Structure 1
């Protein structure tokens, strides 16, 4: 799995290991949290074809098979189309889209042999955009479309491809978003308030959904975007009279 060094990725790695899986985490940097003895880590840039290919080959050579792939690595950069530089656009697309493509491309031959499961961590922003996140929203929309395409192409071979679409999750990425706001504390309160459950999710809650999609219980689930958003996209979380315009 990619992006395994922190946040959602680390939580998924820990959950899979607890379920008895042999987990290999792939990330550009070493894990930042507490050591996870049950999780093996490899260093690679998901946007580099040679590094991804070598990492996948190393995993299969060492463990003999590949049953589940989780594409989690991502970056988020703020800005409208006008405010987003070409360099920033390229960075977001290389990590969030090219990375998913490369890992999936090199892993698919092995997933075909095990009739495995491919899980992409997308976002509600892939179909429900937020202001000032043009590049990020576009990249996550691409991940959703690519997931559906792979589900159709590789379903006949027994490979299941699904995506998970979280809303706000308590991660370092979200903290960076808060800190970039004029009033970080108010931004935190607002983020919780727009969810029907009046809170944001924990990485472990996303990991639980990933564990389901990787399991035999999800044997007939493919091509789906599983929304895990605390009711964010269900509708307005507050009456119109509370809206200030």
Structure 2
């Protein structure tokens, strides 16, 4: 199956590292022009430069903007007036006892993890519908379904994305635009190795350490290892393609079997 995104323009929010930059690279390698986004202009330029080293033919655009704000969204539109593929990856997370989460923190998680994605969808979706092609995706998490007791504000925000995705898919019905959420499972990103080694023997080689971690602390995973960011990106690239034209309104899992559910 050849996934050819030549002629398409994509914006991946929060894409200077981790899952976001892996998605940006995946889309670029498939031929799309890709906007790499972050708040800090220096970090964005560094991410673009590194991505070009890994994919010399990539057509990349630096989109330095705080997309958690209206002003940032307007800035993104100045750089990319129209996009064919919108990947809402931007998100924050952190642990805190449920009864200690303040009103301000609840608002912050909603505004960055949910409202930012809604705002960008509202901004770019009409153009997609008018052109008869578009792909909108929301990077959710297993935490949307298996709410973590130590960060229910994060879980809430990811659950909300599932509802937002389904709702906008209905808005785009019959237009050639698809809207989906991607449920990502435990993923090997920056800082995760340190977290793993806080819990298991530091003398273990990484492959053995992560499998020990998954077996002892994430036993419900059927993959029994952390997911690599590129594996998340592979699904996103497919969902961005012509071949995924009949997949819409879904919560598509790339969770390594972490969520104990038959559907979706």
Q: Tell me which interval the TM-score lies in, with the shorter structure as reference length.
A: 0.7 to 0.9
Alignment of 1:5 with 2:16, yes or no, is yes
| Equivalent pair of 1:118/1:160 in contact (CA under 8 Å) | yes
Does the residue aligned with 2:252 lie in a helix, a strand or coil?
strand
Counterpart CA distance in 1 for 2:114 and 2:87 is: 14
Residue 168 of structure 2 corresponds to which residue in structure 1?
A: 150
Alignment of 1:35 with 2:50, yes or no, is yes
- The total of aligned residue pairs comes to 228
Structure 1: runs of 5+ lacking an equivalent: 236-245
Structure 2: runs of 5+ lacking an equivalent: 1-11, 53-57, 202-208
TM-score normalized by structure 2? 0.79
Q: Which moved more, 1:206-215 or 1:18-27?
A: 18-27
| Equivalent pair of 2:14/2:90 in contact (CA under 8 Å) | yes
- Residues 40-80 of structure 1: CA deviation (Å, up to 9, x unaligned): 221111111122023124212xxxx4210000010002123
Alignment of 1:14 with 2:40, yes or no, is no
| Equivalent pair of 1:76/1:173 in contact (CA under 8 Å) | no
| Equivalent pair of 1:73/1:95 in contact (CA under 8 Å) | yes
Alignment of 1:92 with 2:118, yes or no, is no
CA RMSD for the aligned pairs? 2.2
TM-score normalized by structure 1? 0.85
| Equivalent pair of 2:210/2:226 in contact (CA under 8 Å) | no
Summarize the Cα distance change of 1:154–1:93 in structure 2 as closer, same or farther, 3 Å threshold.
same
Residue 55 of structure 1 corresponds to which residue in structure 2?
A: 76
Alignment of 1:214 with 2:240, yes or no, is yes
Summarize the Cα distance change of 1:199–1:150 in structure 2 as closer, same or farther, 3 Å threshold.
same
What is the Cα deviation at residue 189 of structure 1?
A: 5.3
Counterpart CA distance in 2 for 1:191 and 1:168 is: 11
